[in-house]
Structure formats: C-alpha cells, structure tokens
Structure 1
Amino acid sequence: MTLLRKRRIFYILIGFMLMLLIYAVRMVWIQIASANKAISASGMTMNELAVRQREEGIELDPGRGQFLDRHGEPLTGKTVWVPVLFPLKHLPDTSQIHGVADLLGVTAAELEGKWSRLQYPFIWKSPEGQAPLVLAEHEAERWSQVSGFRILPYMQRYLEDKSGKQWLGYVSQRPDYIRSLYGQTNSRGLPLSLQVGASGLERTFDQFLRGVGSTRAAYTVDGQKRPISGLGMRLTTANDRYYPLSVRTTVDRTIQQHLEDLTEQMGIREGAIVVLDAAQGDVVAMVSRPFFNPRQIDLEQGSWSNHAVKAAVPGSIFKTVIAAAALEEGVASPGEKFHCTGHYGKYGLSCWKEGGHGMITLKEAFAQSCNIVFAELGERLTADSIGRTADKLGLGRMVGWQSPSFREGLALRQIDQEEAGVVFAKGVSPDGGTRAQTALGQRDVLVSPLQAANLVVTLLHDGKVAAPRLVQDIYFKNGVRMLELPPQSAPSQYGAISPATARILRGWMKEVVSHGTGQALQNAQWHLAGKSGTAQTVSAGRPANHQWFIGYGPAKQPRYTVAVLVENRSPGAPHQATELFRRVMDLLAARIHEI
C-alpha cells in the first residue's frame, strides 16, 4: 500500500469520526432544547412536566377573567380558604388525624379512609355537596405543620349556590371545543381539562376570559409519595400585568339580588323579570325562575335556561302592537267608538268582562284590555301590516346587542339563548280568524320578556328600537380599558313607527293605571304606566295562564322599563304579575335614593 493511499484512508477515518461527533453533539442539543421548548397538551415544557411528576399539585385559581356589575362590584370571583389533602404514603400521626377530622367535621376514621385512598390532591367538600368547605383564614397558619394538609386560598367563581342569573351562565370542561380552537392564534397551549364558558356571558365572552395561566399549589414528594424534607409547598402562578381581564356588565348587583329575593318571597315558580335603563335600553337586572346552581348543572332538568330571553305567549300585552298598527295604517282613530257585547260571534271569542264593556272608544279599549275591540282591529288589519309593525317595535326578531361585524361572520352576541319569537307561524294562512286571535296575543304569537321590556323603551324613544346591552366594557388587569362596547340601536328593515303613535301609546299606558286594568298600581311609590296581559296556554296537559305586566316609571320622567312574566298560573288565580310589577318598581324607587 502506497503512502498516498494510507493518507487518504486516514483522512476518511478522521472525517467519519468528526461526522459522528457532530451528530452526537447535535442529538444532545436537540434533547436539551426540546426539553426546554416543547409544549405538551397541558401547556408545559418537558422540563416542567418532569418537575410536575415529583409534585402532587392542585389548581387554586384557573386565571379566568371575572365579571363586574355596572358599579365595579364583583359578580364572580370570591377568594375563600379551603382545606386541601395531598396524597401521602404515610399519613400524619393519630393526634394530627383527630385534629384535622374535628376541623373538617368528620370522624377520624372517615378522614383516614378518604386520605389513604387519595391518588390526587383533594379539596374537602362541604356537607351540602359540590362546593368546597370554607374555613377561616387564620386557620391556615395553625395547621401548616401537618404533612400533606394545607388550608389554601381558593378562587370560588360563583358567589351564590342558586341564583336567577342565567344570563351570566356557567363554565364546564369541553375538550371537543378546546380541540376546535387549536388552529386559532394563542390556543395551542390550552389544556383539554380547561373549563370554558358553556352558556350565558361565560360563553359569549369566553375568548376574553381564558387568561394566561393558573395558580397551582404543589406538595413536593419523592417517587414513593413521601414528602421531601425542607421543600414543602410550592406555589406557581402566571404573573402578567394585563391578564386576566375584567368584564364590566350593565347589571346593578344590588337590584339584581333584591329582585331575586323578591321572587322567593312571592313564591314565583316560573317566569322572569327584565329591568332596562330607559335612557338607552341597557339591562339593569334580569331574573329567571326557577333558579339554577352554576356549580352543579343538570342539563335535563333545564333550570339553567334563561326564561327572560325565551319566547312565550304574550296575551294582551301584544295589543300594544295592534294599537300601533291600527293607528299607523289609519284603520282606526283614538276616539272611534266600538260596541262590546262580551262576545265576538264569528270565531267564538269572548271578552274577559262578563256582559262586555258596551260602547267604548279605542283609547278606553286599550286601558280596559277589551278583547272584542282588538279582535275587530285584527280583522281590519292585514297580516303584513301586523307583522311589519311588530318588527318596527322589535318583536319577531332578536334585538340584543351584537357586534357591527356580525354579518361578516365575526359574531359577538352579548345575550346568549335569545329567541326571536314569532307573530305568524310559517305556512299558516292568516285569515280573519287567525288575525283576530293574533290581535289578542294568542294563536302563534311568541314574545320574550326582554323584547317586551325593550318595546316599552322603543315607545319612550319615539319609535327608535334600542339593542339591550349586558356588557359595556372590558378592562386589563392594571385597570386600563381594553375595549368599549357602546350602545347601539336595532332598527327594523321596515323603518319605525311615528313619534306621534309612540306618544299616544305612552299616554294610553298611563290610562291603564289610572282607569284601567292596572289600577292596583296606584298605591305604588311612583306614578306608573303599563299594560297587563293574560295568555291562555297549556302546562303538563292542563290549562294554564301566563300573566304579564309591562310598563315604565316614573310616568313623568321615566327611569326604568320593566317586563314581568309569571308562567303557568292556574286559570282564575289572582294576577300575580301586576303585584310583582308594583313591588319591582318600588324596589327601583328605593334604590334611586340609595345611590
């Protein structure tokens, strides 16, 4: 072998060894870098996961944004102190077990049995059920020396176990939804166990509420789940100056709570109350019955559904639409006289007043809620004119606040579950009988309490339809406003009713209280105006009535509009909605003096 050939072989071997060295260095670098950079489905690096494997941790605060009322008072997010058990191979001594058991209100055997079987950290529950047991803050230091047991600050999202705030909604784990977000910006690190909005504002504003990380408490153990001496508790949190965000609603927390208490006092089983700010149509309070527990949702039972935005048979409050249509179309005048005998022979309809009202003007017929007069108006009007007028007044369509870019697919509807309602059912020929029944707010007509309260706002604004808001702005953690959601209108494609018609109807609503079906309201703290309604329906196969009252107050300088619905009352039962409306207005009058 020549010297030249030997040198070539030497250089080839040297080159091969260099390549192996470079490859080895590269693989080491990749493993180190990937351990620091790779993100798992939980949003942690591989190094963080390795540490987590040696810790038994629990989430104390998911870092989700919070809701505030219009005055900045919290609607969600209350810090409470809760007992937490961490899994251990060897439990504390007998005296400590007995002490902790006494604190938790259980026997030592019960505590020991639960603790010895733990695979993961556990927040001790209250005897009532799903909510954590809440202890005093000063207990935290006293029990800090017991291995595997701590009393820690915990973010309790909902302030009440049961409430009528279905508009606020609830959160739940929705892995399918999280997976659907993975293609969006800043969503890859979302863990599948993350709780996200499932209904209400929690759902419609979920994109603003997710935050940037949770606060966790970890108890460091070895591979045998034995506490590592000297390490103890480890708290980790996402320290961000901008997140989580705060969402400020239009709701007055005090009014909301007073109205919820009022429905309890009056024994309201099903129904709703909607209070709107007369100035711009914002939601001041919205109560739905039956109440729901946001911590324990039963989807089949259905109490989480918001009756305030669900469409129901309106009865005589729909006569407001018929009166507006008759005036707008010129088929009747305010002073025109009608004859009510108590029966409308052609369709078997009757008036609520036995024997009828006799000779009566349209103005008086509205105040007295005369069925015969309005059945005749229904026949005089066309189906198109009734439908157009309803649309002009914000009925038969959704009116809640939505983002201006909604039609481009960037939907942001503030009010979840809102139903559009209906005037005439699709496929039905609106003949004279159909129109007569529709004029009484029966047949196929459906209106939500939100729409009903907003109809009154429309009359106060001379025909301009407002778009009720539940949220007015969003703030960064440092208090700087991130986004403003200004008031909007919800105009009809058919235009608006005339200011003259709106003024006439406002005056007729005053007549309802002074001389008509709402005279029981004359002893209220404010002078009030409104319209009553009773709708015939069926509940559980039996005849039932929906009772309504809508209106505004004070009559001279309106501050609020209110819609009250009491559902499924027994036929012939006292008109509970009128009494509820009065007491709601009295509470609002008292609140004005408090602020």
Structure 2
Amino acid sequence: MTLLRKRRIFYILIGFMLMLCIYAVRMVWIQIASANKAISASGMTMNELAVRQREEGIELDPGRGQFLDRYGEPLTGKTVWVPVLFPLKHLPDTSQIHDVADLLGVTAAELEGKWSRLQYPYIWKSSEGQAPLVLAEHEAERWSQVSGFRILPYMQRYLEDKSGKQWLGYVSQRPDYIRSLYGQTNSRALPLSLQVGASGLERTFDQFLRGVGPTRAAYTVDGQKRPISGLGMRLTTANDRYYPLSVRTTVDRTIQQHLEDLTEQMGIREGAIVVLDAVQGDVVAMVSRPFFNPRQIDLEQGSWSNHAVKAAVPGSIFKTVVVAAALEEGVASPGEKFHCTGHYGKYGLSCWKEGGHGMITLKEAFAQSCNVVFAELGERLTADSIERTADKLGLGRMVGWQSPSFYGGLALRQIDQEEAGAVFAKGASPDGGARAQTALGQRDVLVSPLQAANLVVTLLHDGKVAAPRLAQDIYFKNGVRMLELPPQSAPSNYGAISPATARILRGWMKEVVSHGTGQALQNAQWHLAGKSGTSQTVSAGRPANHQWFIGYGPVEQPRYAVAVLVENRSPGAPHQATELFRRVMDLLAARIHEI
C-alpha cells in the first residue's frame, strides 16, 4: 500500500471521527442543555414533546382567545364539567358500570358497549345533540375512583345552542385555509386539524385568537397504543403570561339577549335588528333571524348568514336619500306643493293611499310616504345625483370599520359578510321610469340594515358618516391592553350632505311619528323619530313584502339609532316592523336605567 493511499484512508477516518464527535455533542446538547427549553410555538420542551409521543389524550380547551361584551362580560368561553371515558384493557366491575350508566342517563349495556370499543378518550355527549353532557363540578371527586372515568373541566366555547349572533360567527376545521395562509410560515404551530374562524368576528380576528397550545387530559400508552396501568391520567396545559388574548366588543350582552328574546316572542322568522350608539356609531346589538347553532353548522341551510349586513330591497326608507338629493340639488323645496291623485300614470305606479293624498307639501309627502310625489322627484333628479347622495349617506358601499394596514401590516375589516348594496344595476343607464321606481326604493336598490341604521347616525352627525365598530380593544391574558381599535369615519369620495339638509331630515322624521305613517310609536316610552318602509319582493316564487323601520330616540337627546327589518311578510299583513321598532326602543329605554 502506497504512502499516498494510507494518508487518504487516514484523512477519511479522521473525517468520520469528527462527524461522530459533532453528532455526539449535538445529542448531549439536545438531551441535557435543551431538554427543558421551549422549542415549539406552544412553549413545549424537548422532554415534553418526547412524552407526548408516548401519550394518547383528549383536548379540553383549545387555548383560543375569547370575546367579551363592552362591559367585559363573556360572549364566548364557559368552563363546564363533562364526563370523559378512557380506553381500558379491562372495564370496571358491573356495579360501577351501572352507577356510571345511571349518571349518564343510559343503560349499562349501552355504556359497556361504547366503552369496550373505545380506542381513544371520549367526551360523553348529551342526548340532545353533539354538545357534551354537562355535570356538576362536585361530582368530579366522587367519581375519581372509577378506573378509566373522569369528570373534567371543559371549555365550552359558545354559551347558547341557538342565537342571533351571526356577527360572532363560528369555528371549524379548514385545512385548505391553513395550508394557503399559514403553511409556509409556521406549520408546526398550526396543525391542519386546528379549529379556526370560519365566519363573523371569529374569522376576522382569527390571527389574534389562536393561542399557544391546548389543555389536554392524557395517559401513557405502550408501543401498541394500549394504556399502561398504574401511570394514571395527567392534565397538561400551555402556561403563558400573555396568551390567549381577549377581544372586547362594542356589544351590550344584556341588550343583545333581550332583543333575541323579543324576536322569539313576536314570532319573527326572517329579518334583522341593528342598534347603533348614536354618538360613535358603534354596534350595541345586532340580531339576525333565523337563529343559528354555532356548534352545528349546515352551510346549505344558511342560517349562519348574517341578515343584518345582507342587502335587501329597502322600499320607502330610501325616500330619505331621494329627498336629501332633491334638497341638495335644488330640484324641490320643503314647502313645495304636489298633487297626489293616487296614481302616477306614466309608468303604472300608484300610491299606497287609495284615492291619493290630494294637495300635499314635500314635508307632508315624506311623513305620509307618498309614492306619487317621490316618483316625480325621481324623474326630476339625475341618476348620478341619486347615486352620489346615497354614497354621501353611506349607501351603495361598505361602511364597517376597516384598516388597510393594521397590526403587522395586515388588513382588517371587522364586520364579516358585509354587503355594499346598490342603487342602480351596474352598467345601467336609468331612464325616467327606472329613476321613478328607484325613488320608491324598488327596482335595483339594495340596502342592508347596518347601512340603514348608520344612515340615521349620519343624519344625527349633520352628514358625517361613521364606520360602525363591532370590536374596540384587544387584551393580553394579564388584562393589559395590547391594541385599541379607535372609532373611525367613513367619508364619501363625493363629500357630505349639508348640515342644513341633515337637520331638515331629522325634523321630518319626527313628523313621521307625530303625523305620518309612524303614529303607532306615539305611545312608546321615549319620544321617537323615524321612517317606515315596505318593499315588494318575491320569496319561494310568491309575492312578499319586506317591512322596515329606521329611526332614533330619544328625540331630545338621541342615544340610539335603530334599523329593523322583517322579511318576506305576506302582502297586506300588518306592519310588524313598526311594532318591533317600538318594542326595541322600549327595551333600550329600560336598559338605560339599569346601567
């Protein structure tokens, strides 16, 4: 063997030795120096991750952040005590199985059959659905001696089975969403099975709500995933000083619940209520019918959709926009007189009052919601002037609070599912007939209850459009505020209506209640002002009406702006929206004395 060849072999051996040394040093570092150092996004150490590989467990709390109402009361997140079954090689004796079965409300045979087939821990469900069976906390210690059975604290995210809080939304597993948005950033922290926000505030604030790790009940298994007897169960949790975060909303939980109950009492099947703070335009309550169950979502059935932010045909409440345009453009004056015969012959339009109103001023026409007068105003106005005025009042566009560059440069739009609505169809060149129909809030006009309530706030602010908020702060776990979401305005690119026009419209809304279509509100607890509306639509192939009422109260010092919509009423049915508006305002008046 030549000297050169021997040197090569020597160098190769030296190289192998160096590699082995480096590997050995790294192993020592991992097992000793890094064993107790957090290496995952959830704060778990190497030792804990190693133990996790030898465990089977069940999640009791995902560690997701919670929502609070404006006073700090919880909107999500309630700790309940639930029964959990763990797989066993040998089930407890017959007497214990009978006792547990009695507790769970099932037969011993049913329990034994379920238990014997378990491969993973199982939270016992209630007989009413998919929600866990809730037991009393004091039962936990009593049953702790039964092998493989525990009563454990469980974080129940949603407080009700059914509610009108579609704005709050729901969570679900969305693996494609996680892959597309987060897979390239930190896939270890975001497993594909993670429950993430799918709609509502759960979706828009999802980036802030994901915690640092779950709370689990786990037990040690052997190589064949069988429980190792004698080691028992242990609870593991991600202890963090700052997370999970909490989002404080602008909603008053008490008002929200009272209004949901009210819609149940009145038998309202479809529709919405929006209550805005008259000072800042914040959402105080938002109810959508039909109710939905955030624990059981049927995407096809659609009850998860938020009717409060979906655009609908507005009917006569849109006359507020038309009269504002007429006054701003100077095509009519407040005292101008019109003649209503009950028919507007050109286009086959008619007034709701048989025989017409006779001679009537513009002010009276607004209070009486005269179709003939407003059809004529529609013809006097140009399509551009109607559309621009609507935009100035926050219609035909999304007005909810939004920031193009919020925390970390990410865009944030608070209100999910919000629709912009419309005044005219895209690309249309409206003739006189189209403008006349539009002036009555028909044809292509679409307005959401949120926009309608915000229109009232705009008038109260002399033409300045507010951007309604649903959330106002984000807090760390220790109670320190992390971020503030301050009030915003949502100005139009076309400017604003004049304060004088806004004042006129506020005064005319008072006339609606004192001498017009809203006289039924005169017996309300507060002095109110507003505008009624009824629009023609089609539901399931049959003619139907949407009934609206928008307004504010008390007139002397406005506290709330409210829009109510009752959808798909039978033509000719009593105006339920007016009665609903009155009862909403009475509830708000009562709540003022409680705060």
What SS does structure 2 have at the residue aligned with 1:35?
coil
- Does the 8 Å CA contact 1:379/1:432 hold for their aligned counterparts? yes
Separation (CA, whole Å) in 1 of partners of 2:112 and 2:363: 76
State the shift of 1:158 in Å: 0.2
State the shift of 1:77 in Å: 0.2
State the shift of 1:36 in Å: 8.6
**Bigger CA drift: 92-101 or 378-387?**
92-101
Separation (CA, whole Å) in 1 of partners of 2:12 and 2:186: 49
Separation (CA, whole Å) in 1 of partners of 2:380 and 2:7: 112
Separation (CA, whole Å) in 2 of partners of 1:243 and 1:411: 22
Q: 1:380 to 1:185 in 2, by over 3 A?
A: same
Separation (CA, whole Å) in 2 of partners of 1:13 and 1:584: 86
Separation (CA, whole Å) in 2 of partners of 1:399 and 1:58: 43
Q: 1:348 to 1:407 in 2, by over 3 A?
A: farther
State the shift of 1:225 in Å: 5.7
Residues 245-279 of structure 1 deviation map (CA, whole Å, 9 limit, x = unaligned) = 01000000000000000000000000000000000
Q: 1:137 to 1:18 in 2, by over 3 A?
A: closer
State the shift of 1:11 in Å: 10
Separation (CA, whole Å) in 2 of partners of 1:521 and 1:217: 57
State the shift of 1:192 in Å: 1.3
State the shift of 1:175 in Å: 1.1
State the shift of 1:185 in Å: 5.2
The size of the alignment, in residue pairs, is 595
Separation (CA, whole Å) in 2 of partners of 1:258 and 1:2: 96
- Does the 8 Å CA contact 1:87/1:225 hold for their aligned counterparts? no
- Does the 8 Å CA contact 1:89/1:224 hold for their aligned counterparts? no
Separation (CA, whole Å) in 2 of partners of 1:182 and 1:34: 27
Task: Map residues 338-353 of structure 1 onto 2, 5 A cutoff.
Answer: 338-353=338-353
- Does the 8 Å CA contact 2:42/2:238 hold for their aligned counterparts? no
Q: 1:581 to 1:3 in 2, by over 3 A?
A: closer
Separation (CA, whole Å) in 2 of partners of 1:408 and 1:52: 33
What SS does structure 1 have at the residue aligned with 2:426?
coil
What SS does structure 2 have at the residue aligned with 1:532?
strand
- Does the 8 Å CA contact 2:41/2:212 hold for their aligned counterparts? no
Residues 308-343 of structure 1 deviation map (CA, whole Å, 9 limit, x = unaligned) = 000000000000000000000000000000000000
State the shift of 1:558 in Å: 0.4
State the shift of 1:39 in Å: 7.5
State the shift of 1:556 in Å: 1.1
- Does the 8 Å CA contact 2:42/2:213 hold for their aligned counterparts? no
What SS does structure 1 have at the residue aligned with 2:412?
coil
Separation (CA, whole Å) in 1 of partners of 2:252 and 2:384: 39
State the shift of 1:430 in Å: 0.5
Q: 1:526 to 1:8 in 2, by over 3 A?
A: closer
- Does the 8 Å CA contact 1:88/1:225 hold for their aligned counterparts? no
Q: 1:229 to 1:478 in 2, by over 3 A?
A: same
Equivalence for 1:97? 97
Separation (CA, whole Å) in 2 of partners of 1:116 and 1:174: 32
State the shift of 1:289 in Å: 0.2
- Does the 8 Å CA contact 2:316/2:441 hold for their aligned counterparts? yes
- Does the 8 Å CA contact 2:87/2:227 hold for their aligned counterparts? no
What SS does structure 2 have at the residue aligned with 1:303?
coil
State the shift of 1:188 in Å: 3.8
Q: 1:25 to 1:492 in 2, by over 3 A?
A: closer
Q: 1:24 to 1:62 in 2, by over 3 A?
A: closer
Residues 9-29 of structure 1 deviation map (CA, whole Å, 9 limit, x = unaligned) = 999988977776666776887
Residues 440-497 of structure 1 deviation map (CA, whole Å, 9 limit, x = unaligned) = 0000000000000000000000000000000000100111000000000000000000
Separation (CA, whole Å) in 2 of partners of 1:449 and 1:39: 49
Residues 151-170 of structure 1 deviation map (CA, whole Å, 9 limit, x = unaligned) = 00000000000000000000
- Does the 8 Å CA contact 2:42/2:212 hold for their aligned counterparts? no
What SS does structure 2 have at the residue aligned with 1:58?
strand
- Does the 8 Å CA contact 1:181/1:187 hold for their aligned counterparts? no
Separation (CA, whole Å) in 1 of partners of 2:366 and 2:459: 15
- Does the 8 Å CA contact 1:375/1:437 hold for their aligned counterparts? yes
Q: 1:379 to 1:234 in 2, by over 3 A?
A: same
What SS does structure 1 have at the residue aligned with 2:334?
coil
- Does the 8 Å CA contact 1:89/1:225 hold for their aligned counterparts? no
**Bigger CA drift: 394-403 or 226-235?**
226-235
Separation (CA, whole Å) in 2 of partners of 1:131 and 1:202: 19
State the shift of 1:92 in Å: 1.1
Residues 110-164 of structure 1 deviation map (CA, whole Å, 9 limit, x = unaligned) = 0011111111111000001110000000000011011111000000000000000
Separation (CA, whole Å) in 2 of partners of 1:298 and 1:10: 71
- Does the 8 Å CA contact 1:392/1:497 hold for their aligned counterparts? yes
Separation (CA, whole Å) in 2 of partners of 1:337 and 1:58: 74
State the shift of 1:176 in Å: 1.4
Residues 27-82 of structure 1 deviation map (CA, whole Å, 9 limit, x = unaligned) = 88789999999979999777545423432211110000000000000000000000
State the shift of 1:220 in Å: 2.9
**Bigger CA drift: 202-211 or 8-17?**
8-17
State the shift of 1:411 in Å: 1.6
State the shift of 1:344 in Å: 0.2
**Bigger CA drift: 91-100 or 372-381?**
91-100
Q: 1:184 to 1:528 in 2, by over 3 A?
A: farther
State the shift of 1:410 in Å: 3.1
- Does the 8 Å CA contact 1:41/1:191 hold for their aligned counterparts? no
Q: 1:179 to 1:33 in 2, by over 3 A?
A: farther
Q: 1:224 to 1:348 in 2, by over 3 A?
A: same
- Does the 8 Å CA contact 2:283/2:469 hold for their aligned counterparts? yes
Separation (CA, whole Å) in 2 of partners of 1:458 and 1:531: 15
What SS does structure 1 have at the residue aligned with 2:113?
helix
Separation (CA, whole Å) in 2 of partners of 1:437 and 1:7: 98
What SS does structure 1 have at the residue aligned with 2:312?
coil
Separation (CA, whole Å) in 2 of partners of 1:248 and 1:336: 50
Residues 333-366 of structure 1 deviation map (CA, whole Å, 9 limit, x = unaligned) = 0000000000000000000000000000000000
Q: CA RMSD in A?
A: 2.9
Q: 1:186 to 1:245 in 2, by over 3 A?
A: farther
What SS does structure 2 have at the residue aligned with 1:346?
helix
- Does the 8 Å CA contact 1:171/1:198 hold for their aligned counterparts? yes
- Does the 8 Å CA contact 2:271/2:288 hold for their aligned counterparts? yes
Q: 1:499 to 1:222 in 2, by over 3 A?
A: same
Q: 1:221 to 1:343 in 2, by over 3 A?
A: same
Q: 1:43 to 1:193 in 2, by over 3 A?
A: farther
Q: 1:126 to 1:364 in 2, by over 3 A?
A: same
* TM-score calculated relative to the size of structure 1: 0.94
* TM-score calculated relative to the size of structure 2: 0.94
What residue ranges of structure 2 are gaps of 5+ in the alignment? none
Q: Percent identity?
A: 96
- Does the 8 Å CA contact 1:552/1:561 hold for their aligned counterparts? yes
State the shift of 1:184 in Å: 6.0
Equivalence for 1:219? 219
- Does the 8 Å CA contact 1:41/1:189 hold for their aligned counterparts? yes
Q: 1:37 to 1:187 in 2, by over 3 A?
A: farther
Separation (CA, whole Å) in 2 of partners of 1:362 and 1:28: 88
Separation (CA, whole Å) in 2 of partners of 1:260 and 1:285: 10
- Does the 8 Å CA contact 1:512/1:531 hold for their aligned counterparts? yes
- Does the 8 Å CA contact 2:319/2:366 hold for their aligned counterparts? yes
Separation (CA, whole Å) in 2 of partners of 1:306 and 1:8: 76
- Does the 8 Å CA contact 1:278/1:561 hold for their aligned counterparts? yes
Separation (CA, whole Å) in 1 of partners of 2:573 and 2:267: 14
Separation (CA, whole Å) in 1 of partners of 2:119 and 2:13: 55
Q: 1:224 to 1:12 in 2, by over 3 A?
A: closer
**Bigger CA drift: 218-227 or 195-204?**
218-227
Q: 1:10 to 1:304 in 2, by over 3 A?
A: closer
**Bigger CA drift: 372-381 or 6-15?**
6-15
Separation (CA, whole Å) in 1 of partners of 2:407 and 2:37: 40
